[in-house]
Amino acid sequence: MHDMPNQVSPRTKVRLFTDDCMVCCEVKSHQLQDQVTLQRDLHALQLWAERWGMRFNPQKCDIMHIAHQAHRVQMYELCGVTLDSVTQAKYLGAIISADLQWHSQVCAVAKKANTTLYFIYRTLKYCPRSSRATAYTSVVRSGMEHCAGIWDPPPPKQQDKNTLEKVNRRTLVCSTTRPGTITASAPPPCCNPLAGITRGKALQPTHGAHVQHHT
């Protein structure tokens, strides 16, 4: 696997993680040669896999076009199959959108956190508050912090921040109430799942970038 990135052209980047492979390349819409180069790189990877007795599954591969403006979608082939073009793809636990907005990622994180939070409440509802707080920190918060340096919504995305704050409020209720009682209060700062996290540099769209994602 270590020689796989050497099969493509210098402008094409290959990222490997366990059984996932992502190929990305800047393709300018007015230059046909860039599209030909990317297709040639995909064919080179196909030959590399066959040489080592392996084969890509084109049904689990797709193309994502990331650009500032809408443009004609160029189709690419792998193993004789035309790859589907998608607007979202999950990579290393984060949902990447073609417009580089993180609304889908925030909703997915909040949904998973709420499901886990209710499971903890049902299972540990008669346990001490400290036990429930430990379970929240180790299970719920750790999941919400995954890749937060990238998708942590900027100030204009108030809707996404509100979605995360709802998880905070439910956490406070579940950790401070006994079964059969309901209270409402603002969450303390310590319950903020993104507290203490340094915001990472925001990703900026690259004109005509094409991402090939293998799952």
| pTM of structure | 0.69
**How would residue 154 be classed by pLDDT, with cut points 50, 70 and 90?**
low
**How would residue 40 be classed by pLDDT, with cut points 50, 70 and 90?**
very high
- Which ranges constitute the DSSP H helices of the chain? 32-51, 103-124, 129-135, 142-144, 148-151, 158-176
**How would residue 43 be classed by pLDDT, with cut points 50, 70 and 90?**
very high
Average pLDDT over residues 70-96: 86
| Predicted pLDDT of residue 71 | 67
Residue predicted with more confidence, 90 or 181: 90
DSSP 8-state secondary structure symbol assigned to residue 197: P
Average pLDDT over residues 92-111: 88
| Predicted pLDDT of residue 47 | 93
Q: Which residues contact 44 (CB under 8 A, 6 or more apart)?
A: 7, 8
Q: Percent of the chain beyond pLDDT 90?
A: 16
Mean pLDDT of the chain: 77
Separation between Cα atoms, residue 102 and residue 171, nearest integer Å = 23
| Predicted pLDDT of residue 66 | 85
| Predicted pLDDT of residue 214 | 47
Residue 175, classified by CB atoms within 10 Å of its CB into exposed (0-12), middle (13-18) or buried (19+), is buried
**How would residue 201 be classed by pLDDT, with cut points 50, 70 and 90?**
very low
Whether 57 contacts 80, CB under 8 Å: no
Closest CA to 187 of 125, 145, 135, 133: 133
Q: Is the pLDDT of residue 127 over 90?
A: no
Separation between Cα atoms, residue 100 and residue 121, nearest integer Å = 35
Average pLDDT over residues 127-136: 85
Residue predicted with more confidence, 111 or 29: 111
Using one digit for the tens of pLDDT, what is the confidence trace for 158-191?
A: 788 888 888 888 877 776 665 544 343 444 444 4
Average pLDDT over residues 15-44: 86
| Predicted pLDDT of residue 42 | 93
